[in-house]
Chains A and B, each alone.
Chain A
Amino acid sequence: MYLVADINVEICAAKSCKLCTQYCPEANTILYSDEMGKDQGFKYGSAYVAVDRCKGCAQCVWVCDNMAKNNAIKMIMIDQLPKAALTDNITYGEKSTTAVLASPVVG
């Protein structure tokens, strides 16, 4: 098993700084969804991780903890994530994306 980044929607949707989306070295990996936060009653949308593209470097964790001071991202073993976003389940919209969360582990 290996580590991937996991973003706490509750904390992220309260601030919505989007710094992690700008500092992730991998393209199309940390994405942003308006629905993920607002539909759950939070003020803003939330960032989320396409775990099939995450290489587990944890730069987003440093940025979230030290630059944004939000402490919203943790590294977690992928088989400990009940549901996560995968590239195949992500839909791009005009100004945001939406993701259908599913178990990231096959079988």
Chain B
Amino acid sequence: MSLDYVKFSNGFEKFMPKEYRDMVEHGPFGKKVSVSQVGSFKEVLEEHPMCAGCAMTLFIRLAMVAFPNPEDTITVGTAGCGRLAISQAAIPFVYGNYGDQNGVASGLSRGLRLRFGDKPKDVVVMAGDGGTADIGFQQVLHSWFRKERFTTIMLDNEVYGNTGGQESGMTNRGAVLKMAPLGKKFEKMDMVQMAKVAGCAYVATVVPNNPRRVESVIKKAVLIAREVGSTYIQAYTSCNIEYAIPTDKVMEDAKAVENDRYQFTEYVSEEAKQYLTERYGYKEFLAKPAAAIPNKA
């Protein structure tokens, strides 16, 4: 949990694979990198077995670029497609049993605070819609009600993509899937509203067709979770296999879904606004100067 863990042990450099050497020497550790610089530095995410053209992969990639301190971050996941990529990065990954990722993250976050005191160590949960809204629902909600200080990210592909296409709580009403041939009978769960009711300090919905917005949202969520409270990001990350989206049309679909039902929304509590402004110099939450009063004369 420091820059030391990505350095070479003396005498071992020449035995390390090229990808590892590149990551140590030209990775994002200890530097400030942004999405606009990708392609010019070695990213922490390595090769993984996720499908070609997967929007979830793109979101995970962008999220890993956006982490404010990747060397001081631990990701927590659960069963689902996302963990196939999240686990293949130079960021420690904890694989929770199905559904207990937010319980694991609660303990981890508290333990790290005991061990490292005020030095920020970020815990980020990234799990699918099934892991977050169905099987892990209880632990997710309770971690929010307890105001556990870590970030929960739902990779919402609106289906159990990893197991052949069953409906999840986040599937839209009426959607017909391979393992839900009669169509889903119930509405999509409103996890955003539940996050607000449960007291999350930051709640956002985002689609990966705007990389800089994804970066901004992740940074804010992780920073707020350091001190203020729970943060929640719900990202639409289509499953191009189960929803039969041609891979070269994945971003077109993302744009259409964003316009239809996944508009960018962002809720920031007053405490979180103050924290971001005072601690990290965010200017967007400063009071706007009053508009000039038109001269009536």
Which residue of B25, B53, B252 is within 8 Å of A66 (Cβ)?
A: B252
B: interface residue count bin: 20 to 34
Closest 8 CB pairs of A and B: A57-B53, A21-B39, A92-B26, A55-B52, A58-B248, A32-B39, A27-B45, A57-B247
Residues from chain A with Cβ under 8 Å of B39 in the complex: 18, 21-22, 30-32, 47, 97
Q: Determine whether the beta carbon of B18 is less than 8 Å from that of A58.
A: no
Per-residue CB contact flags for chain A residues 81-92 toward chain B (1 = under 8 Å, else 0) read 000000110001
Residues from chain B with Cβ under 8 Å of A61 in the complex: 248
A27 and B61 in contact, given A57-B248, A92-B22 (Cβ under 8 angstroms): yes
Residues from chain B with Cβ under 8 Å of A56 in the complex: 52
Residues from chain B with Cβ under 8 Å of A57 in the complex: 52-53, 247-248, 250
Residues from chain B with Cβ under 8 Å of A95 in the complex: 40
Q: Determine whether the beta carbon of B249 is less than 8 Å from that of A88.
A: no
* Residues of B participating in the A interface, judged by any CB pair closer than 8 Å: 18-19, 22, 25-26, 35-36, 38-47, 50, 52-55, 57-58, 61-62, 64, 211, 247-252
List 20 extra interface pairs beyond A27-B43, A62-B252, CB under 8 A.
Answer: A18-B36, A22-B35, A22-B38, A22-B39, A25-B52, A25-B61, A30-B39, A57-B52, A57-B248, A58-B247, A58-B248, A59-B247, A59-B248, A62-B250, A62-B251, A88-B18, A92-B25, A95-B40, A96-B40, A97-B39
The winner among A30, A57, A61, A66 for most chain B CB atoms within 10 A is A57
Question: Is A80 close to B, CB under 8 A?
Answer: no
Residues from chain B with Cβ under 8 Å of A93 in the complex: 26
Question: Is A14 close to B, CB under 8 A?
Answer: no
Q: Determine whether the beta carbon of B19 is less than 8 Å from that of A87.
A: yes
Q: Determine whether the beta carbon of B25 is less than 8 Å from that of A25.
A: no
Quick one: which of A21-74 are within 8 Å of B by CB?
21-28, 30-32, 47, 53, 55-59, 61-63, 66-67
The winner among B41, B45, B54, B64 for most chain A CB atoms within 10 A is B41
Residues from chain B with Cβ under 8 Å of A88 in the complex: 18
Min C-beta distance of A77 to chain B, whole Å? 16
Residues from chain A with Cβ under 8 Å of B50 in the complex: 25
Residue of B nearest to A21 (CB): B39
Q: Determine whether the beta carbon of B251 is less than 8 Å from that of A23.
A: yes
Min C-beta distance of A44 to chain B, whole Å? 13
Which residue of A26, A62, A96, A97 is within 8 Å of B248 (Cβ)?
A: A62
Q: How far is the CA of A49 from the CA of B53 in the complex (A)?
A: 15
User: Could you write out 8 A-B pairs with CB less than 8 Å apart?
Assistant: A25-B53, A57-B247, A59-B247, A61-B248, A62-B249, A62-B251, A92-B26, A92-B41
Q: How far is the CA of A53 from the CA of B18 in the complex (A)?
A: 14
Residue of A nearest to B27 (CB): A92
Min C-beta distance of B262 to chain A, whole Å? 17
Q: How far is the CA of A53 from the CA of B39 in the complex (A)?
A: 13
Q: Determine whether the beta carbon of A28 is less than 8 Å from that of B52.
A: no
Q: Determine whether the beta carbon of B42 is less than 8 Å from that of A92.
A: yes
